[in-house]
Structure 1
Amino acid sequence: MSKKLEVTIPAKYPLAATLTLPDSNLEKYPAIIMVHGSGEIDRDSNAKGLPINAFKELSDLVVEQGFATLRYDKRGVGASKGDYYEAGAYDLIDDAEAAVTFAKNHPNIDSEKVILLGHSEGGIIAPIVNDRNPVSGMILLASIAEPLAKTMEWQREQMYKEIKSLKGFQGWLLRFINLEKKIKKMNDDLIRVVSETDEPVVRYKGKKINAKWNRESAEVDVSTSLKNVKCPVLAITGSKDVNVKVDDLQKIKELVQGECEIHVISDMTHMLRKTDLEFSMSKILNNTKKIIKAPVDQELKDIITNWLADWKSNEVKKAEMIIN
């Protein structure tokens, strides 16, 4: 059985985490640090009402391959200190960097064999952290290769296209009430409210908004950091991921300097599960809670397992070359 240690990552606000070590007698292990997507997400990648549990499943998977894993509750979530709503994009990057520093300094982790695994927003954070504290490998799940603001604009355009193409009474009704115009106005209003203040948190239509995160996320361009990535990279996106562009996989491969293996998994969504639904933003998003009842996709797990086996083999070869 693996050994699970409850640890605290020293950061601006201490981050509660689980360090899982394989069941073996090695003194040091290669490690995988898992970086969350957006939202109030804990170390297992669960949010209130949305138990994705992807990091727990993936941790169990890779620990069996001899990797240690480090999973932490996001700032202000679970047992971690701080305020989630006051955290900006750069704060989340700082926290992920603190996790890398903690792992590299831990007596049971080989500091030269640390991999960052990022899902969604975590795939933006991982390359930026690598700029500050280089890692030995990177796994990017459902990630992007452009500014987040540009991807969010693409998401809205997909939504507008769907509204225009919807048939029957529902389609007529949405067009009659001019839903597209209402969505555009609401988005413009929210951007204005967020940009006109320096406060970390604002209220918009009675809802708490993490304004600092919104402002800073608009500044971040992951493509700049992807150009600096020299370590091996595995990038995977599902063909039915309505949150990111599948074409960004090829862009990631072109941007990074290291070896990059990319995969498009047929029928997989942003939640890392497959669906039989057609590629429709509204249908897939509305069925998210049903989709996540299934385990994380087995094809995804197999690809990660095979890539990690190759990564370990290459690390052994590099060590032998140094010795010889």
Structure 2
Amino acid sequence: MPDTDMAVTADDGTRLAGTLTLPDGPGPHPAVLLLHGSGPLDRDGNTPALPVNLGPPLTAALAAAGVATLRLDRRGAGATPGRWRAAGFTGNRRDAAAALDALAAHPDVRAGAVGVVGHSEGALHAMALGSRPDVRAVVLLAGYARTGEDALRRQVRSIVATLPAPVRLLRRPIRAVSARVLARIERTGTDEARVAGVPVNARWLRENLAHDTRGDLAAITAPVLAVTGGKDLQIDPADLDVIRRLVRGEAEVHRVPDLTHVLRRDPGRHTLRSYRRLLREPVDADLLALVTTWLARRLAPAPCGASAERPTA
């Protein structure tokens, strides 16, 4: 499973640093672009405060199944220069498109066998890239089907519901404060704003709040695998039904019991405070197997005459 450094030139000339993981054996190989969640994440999907670490186990599993993977350091993270707050939501999307172009043009990548895998924010960008004719498979891990503002409001309600009973009594004031904060951010015109003295990514929030993923989903014709955990506090699993209805091509959806937003299972009472404990565990093995098998069927099918499992619908 050879790893090679691969830099992608963004539309503004920034060199986005990353890793291309190739399967053993001669190429060209089918390949996917892996897009991580929000924030200044490195190519493995990590920040010091939230090391999701999706990159290494997923790329290893895909390489074993014959599929290459490209993953990048976001601007201002790892070896990529810049400021992540200046990129915004639409900037992250443009960087993802540039990475997909570079991956499809790579000599070790098979023409017509390129897909995209996205987690959280990455799933939203994967939805947009999924309408491209050169994308043959789309995997959405914890992606929503609504506006960003609706998704954030639902997230606040979901998190408040997990708080201790005395705090839940304050849910109406909390929602009112949240609404005022959103309104203030929507009025800003800067990359960054301060809320209660804390810097927030104002550009990213403005652009994300206004974006409606349903238009992107309706434009996808490639096969789609959408997976959301039954205990995801940040994404409504009910959106899986909307995803399945909107995608024009094949759409396979899974609501995985006990799976959380950080792609680990939590059989107990799940709250945001559970993340620290869960992130000491590996990414859910069944999820990795599901994604790997599904992608291999669509991007690296068995040769004629060889036995292969029948794809599920």
Structure 2 matches for 1:243-282, cutoff 5 A? 243-278=234-269
| Cα separation, 2, equivalents of 1:150 and 1:222 | 11
- Residue equivalent to 2:275: 288
| Cα separation, 1, equivalents of 2:201 and 2:161 | 28
Please report the RMSD computed on the Cα atoms of aligned residues, expressed in angstroms.
1.9
- Residue equivalent to 2:17: 16
Compared with structure 1, are the counterparts of its residues 315 and 147 closer, same or farther at alpha carbon in structure 2 (3 Å cutoff)? Answer: farther
- Residue equivalent to 2:307: none
Q: Structure 1 stretch 308-317 or stretch 229-238: which is displaced more?
A: 308-317
- Residue equivalent to 2:223: 232
| Higher RCO, 1 vs 2 (CA within 8 Å, ≥6 residues apart) | 2
Query: How much has 1:306 moved relative to structure 2?
Result: 2.2
- Aligned partner of 2:287 among 292, 300, 306: 300
How many residues in Structure 1 have an aligned counterpart in Structure 2? 302
| Cα separation, 1, equivalents of 2:132 and 2:203 | 22
Letter in 1 for 2:25: S
- Residue equivalent to 2:109: 109
Structure 2 matches for 1:148-297, cutoff 5 A? 148-162=148-162, 166=164, 171-172=165-166, 174=167, 179-278=170-269, 283-297=270-284
Structure 2 matches for 1:9-88, cutoff 5 A? 9-11=8-10, 12=12, 13-26=14-27, 28-88=28-88
Which consecutive residues of structure 1, in runs of 5 or more, have no partner in the other structure?
A: 318-324
More helix by share: 1
Compared with structure 1, are the counterparts of its residues 249 and 316 closer, same or farther at alpha carbon in structure 2 (3 Å cutoff)? Answer: farther
Query: How much has 1:158 moved relative to structure 2?
Result: 2.7
The TM-score, its normalising length taken from structure 1, stands at 0.87
Give the structure with higher Rg (CA): 1
> What whole-Å deviation, never above 9, does each CA across 1:40-97 have from its counterpart, x for those lacking one?
2111011112211112110111011111110001122111122111121110100000
- Residue equivalent to 1:135: 135
- Residue equivalent to 1:320: none
The TM-score, its normalising length taken from structure 2, stands at 0.90
| Cα separation, 1, equivalents of 2:47 and 2:100 | 23
Compared with structure 1, are the counterparts of its residues 99 and 64 closer, same or farther at alpha carbon in structure 2 (3 Å cutoff)? Answer: same
Query: How much has 1:122 moved relative to structure 2?
Result: 0.9
Compared with structure 1, are the counterparts of its residues 10 and 90 closer, same or farther at alpha carbon in structure 2 (3 Å cutoff)? Answer: same
| Cα separation, 2, equivalents of 1:60 and 1:314 | 18
| Cα separation, 1, equivalents of 2:302 and 2:86 | 40
> What fraction of aligned residue pairs are identical, expressed as a percent?
33
| Cα separation, 2, equivalents of 1:134 and 1:126 | 13
1:309 counterpart = 2:310: no
Which consecutive residues of structure 2, in runs of 5 or more, have no partner in the other structure?
A: 305-313
| Cα separation, 1, equivalents of 2:133 and 2:88 | 20
